[in-house]
């Protein structure tokens, strides 16, 4: 893999030594160890923050709402009319 970007960070000596030791135990270069650990954490954070979990009752309500015919309210109708004037 060819590096396309660089990420620098500052560590105290103790943290740096721990990371080097862990990389040695895994038998991988420090850069690969840090990259893999950071990417795993990034995936975990994104999964936790971007996923929406619904209870079974909430899921049923959500799906029922999706099944209902769409009825735009007055504000949306006005916005759509205003947009149509701008376009045509």
Q: Do residues 18 and 29 touch, judged by C-beta distance below 8 A?
A: no
pLDDT in tens, 16-38: 999 999 999 999 999 999 999 99
The secondary structure of residue 60, as a DSSP letter, is H
pLDDT in tens, 33-86: 999 999 999 999 999 999 999 999 999 999 999 999 999 999 999 999 999 999
Cα–Cα distance between 63 and 71 in angstroms, integer? 16
The secondary structure of residue 72, as a DSSP letter, is -
User: Other CB atoms closer than 10 Å to residue 75's CB: what's the count?
Assistant: 8
Tell whether the torsion through CA atoms of 28, 34, 39 and 42 is positive or negative. positive
What's the pTM?
A: 0.59
Band the pLDDT of 4: cuts 50, 70, 90. confident
Cα–Cα distance between 51 and 48 in angstroms, integer? 6
């Amino acid at each position: 893999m060819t590096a396309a970007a660089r990420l620098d960070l500052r560590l105290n000596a103790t943290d740096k030594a721990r990371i080097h030791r862990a990389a040695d135990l895994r038998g991988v270069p420090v850069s690969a160890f840090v990259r893999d650990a950071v990417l795993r954490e990034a995936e975990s954070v994104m999964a936790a923050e971007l996923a929406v979990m619904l209870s079974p009752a909430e899921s049923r309500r959500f799906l029922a709402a999706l099944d209902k015919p769409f009825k735009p309210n007055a504000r949306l109708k006005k916005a759509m009319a205003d947009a149509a004037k701008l376009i045509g």
